[in-house]
Amino acid sequence: LLAAHAQRGDPLPARSTETSMRNVTDRKSVLVAGGAGFLGSHLCDRLLADGHHVVCLDNLQTGDLANLEQAMKKPNFEFVRHDVVDPLPVRLAERRFDRVYDLACAASPPQYQADPEHTMLTCVVGVTHLLQLAQRSGARFLLTSTSEIYGDPEVHPQPETYRGNVNPIGPRACYDEGKRAAETLTFDYDRAGRGEVRVARIFNTYGPRLSAADGRVVSNVVSQALADQPITVFGDGSQTRSFCYVDDMIGGLIALMEHDGPQPGPINLGNPVEMTVSRLVEVVLDLTGSSSEVTYQTLPIDDPRRRRPDIARAAEVLDWRPTTPLEEGLRRTIDWFDGERLRSERDAAA
Ligand code: NAD
Ligand code: UDP
């Protein structure tokens, strides 16, 4: 029934007037665009647990209703299937929201490159629709931007003041330049006094509900290791990334949205512990006890050589820092992937 509603794009109704919410005095009405995805679904769960009313808007391009299994059971949750590139449905555009989170955009390189024009439109036209909604509602707006706006960085680690090194005509540009334009639009709204905005520059984040098929390094390596299949390292594995556990990231996004001071500018959110892709593979092989062999494939075009957030601003303005060590976060992620694998094997056998 829920899926049928979702297919038609109807808001899914609250299931009961009784709520299991905590008794909050500050109950807000929150729109989460992209709420069926990896980060968005965790954000919905956290906001629901905090007693807020959450409307999730998603076209299910890379998201999955299965991520919302827990949320769907809550009376203070609604799902609307919609593509943010299209004008918002009237019934939604006329509603009042206190907060609008924009997470609607594929984040994995193979997925955002699959339809680059749609990715660019999602970043530019989609963000405009959501900014307009926030302005009409008087809602505070948060854009999830990305470390990708720094491109292949020449400054290391990357502070928010660094303007980046992006190839505007390469295969990653639909996303990198799209997000740069989304930031521009968001800060233009702020400058014009059209709304209160926040911009999070998210660095590589991992955890349960990453889609096994999304092509990102943690999802690929963990699923390959669990299935004892060859591990695919792109290039020689010496490129670096800094991996943040999802619970830490969600805490950072909410802290930024709820920051009441003057406009803080863009804020890097990520874990500054940097490692090579080869090291990540070693840790996953060790934690899974896998016998997978490591194979080497061509490095994708414009793949950044290194990436590590300078999070001094997040620490100072939000008093936020990640606390989950990589091994602990990976253990939880591996357990979740293993559970999903067993579940799909059981379903296939049934
Ligand atoms: P994801 O692909 O799991 O989630 C994106 C969600 O947005 C999906 O549910 C998808 O169906 C939905 N979506 C995509 N295009 C849409 C459209 N046009 N209209 C409506 N819904 C649409 O990705 P994620 O990792 O959860 O990323 C969420 C946000 O965080 C994205 O904006 C991404 O750019 C940003 N981000 C994530 C990371 C990361 O490491 N996870 C890093 C940097 C930035
Ligand atoms: N990568 C890899 N094997 C894979 C997937 C990715 O070696 O199966 C590499 C990729 O080339 C990049 C790093 O891992 O250098 C992180 O890739 P991901 O797609 O997760 O994120 P992003 O490139 O956006 O940081």
Computed over every residue of the chain, the mean pLDDT equals 93
275-297 average pLDDT score: 98
Q: What distance lies between CA 72 and its chain's CA centroid?
A: 19
CA 241, 242, 247, 248 torsion-angle sign: negative
pTM of the model: 0.94
Asked if residue 29 has pLDDT above 80, the reply is yes
Q: How confident is the model at residue 345 (pLDDT cuts 50, 70, 90)?
A: confident
To test the pocket of ligand 1, the residue of 61, 67, 129 to mutate (highest count of ligand atoms within 8 Å of its CB) is 61
Average pLDDT over residues 177-195: 97
Q: How far apart are the first and last CA of the chain?
A: 23
> Average pLDDT of 122-138?
97
**Residues with beta carbon inside 6 Å of ligand 2?**
108-109, 204, 216-217, 220, 232-234, 239, 241, 277, 300, 303
Nearest-10 Cα torsion for 123, 126, 129, 134: -60
- Please report the pLDDT score of residue 25 as a whole number: 59
Residue % of the chain over a pLDDT of 70: 93
pLDDT tens for 30-66 read 999 999 999 999 999 999 999 999 999 999 999 999 9
Residue 21 predicted with pLDDT over 60: no
Residue 37 Cα to ligand 1 middle (Å):
6
CA–centroid distance, residue 233 to ligand 2 (Å): 8
Mean pLDDT calculated for residue range 279-300: 98
Judged against a pLDDT cut of 60, whether residue 337 lies above it is answered with yes
Q: Quick check: 17 pLDDT over 90?
A: no
134 pLDDT above the threshold of 60? yes
Looking from the CA of residue 299, the nearest atom of ligand 2 is 11
Give the per-residue pLDDT at 118: 98
